Amino acid sequence: MGTRSRIGIELKDHSVVSVYCHWDGYPEGNGRTLVKHYQDREAVKAMIDGGSMSSLRTRNTWDCGPMLKDADGEYIRDKDGYIMSEGDRDPQPQYHSERGEELEVLHSTFDEFCKDIMGEEYAYLYSLKGEWKCWKFEYKEVKKNDKVTEGHDSVIRNWYTYPVRTEIPA
C-alpha cells in the first residue's frame, strides 16, 4: 500500500496547481526527494506538467523488465541507491500518462489543495518564495446525533481532514 501525497506549486494569485503521487509520500521519502531534485520553479513546473504519478523518482518504467541481481542474488543499485532493472532509465517520475491514463492536474485554492481528494496523507507545496512546505493530513471523526422518523437516535459519522504543518527532514 502506498503513502499517498499531493504535490503542488503556488501561483502568483495564491492558487495551487497540483498532482497526485501514490508511493513514498512521507517526508523522509518524497519530502527529501523534492528538496534534493526539484530546487527551482522550472523543475517543479515540469514535474507537475507530467500529471499524476505512481512514483516521484524511480528508474523503472511500466514495462522495464526484471530487476537486476548480482552473483550473490542481491539487487544491483545505482550510486543513488535506486534498484536497477533491464530496460530502465535515469531516475525520474513514473507518470500515469505513460500507461495511457489522463494527466489529472488539479488547479485549486489552497484550501481545496489541503482537502482529502484521493486519500492523500501528505501535501507538499512549492511556495512563491521557492521553499518546499509539507502538511500531514490528520483525519478526525465527528459524530452527530440525528433523530430518525421512528424516534430512535442514530449516529452520523463524518471524517474531516485537518492539515498539520510538518517539517521535511534534511
pLDDT tens track of the chain, all 170 residues? 589 999 999 999 999 999 999 999 999 999 999 999 999 999 999 999 999 999 999 888 888 888 899 999 999 998 888 888 888 888 899 999 989 998 889 899 988 888 767 778 999 999 999 999 999 987 766 555 544 444 444 444 445 567 888 889 87
The one-letter amino acid at 7: I
**CB crowding 11-33: b at 16 or more within 10 Å, else e:** eeeeebbbbbbbbbbbbebbbbb
CA distance 83 to 85: 7
**What pLDDT sits at residue 116?**
63
Q: Which residue, 15, 109, 11, 91, is CA-closest to 53?
A: 91
**What pLDDT sits at residue 53?**
96
Tell me the domain boundaries of the chain.
Answer: 5-58+91-166
**What pLDDT sits at residue 161?**
65
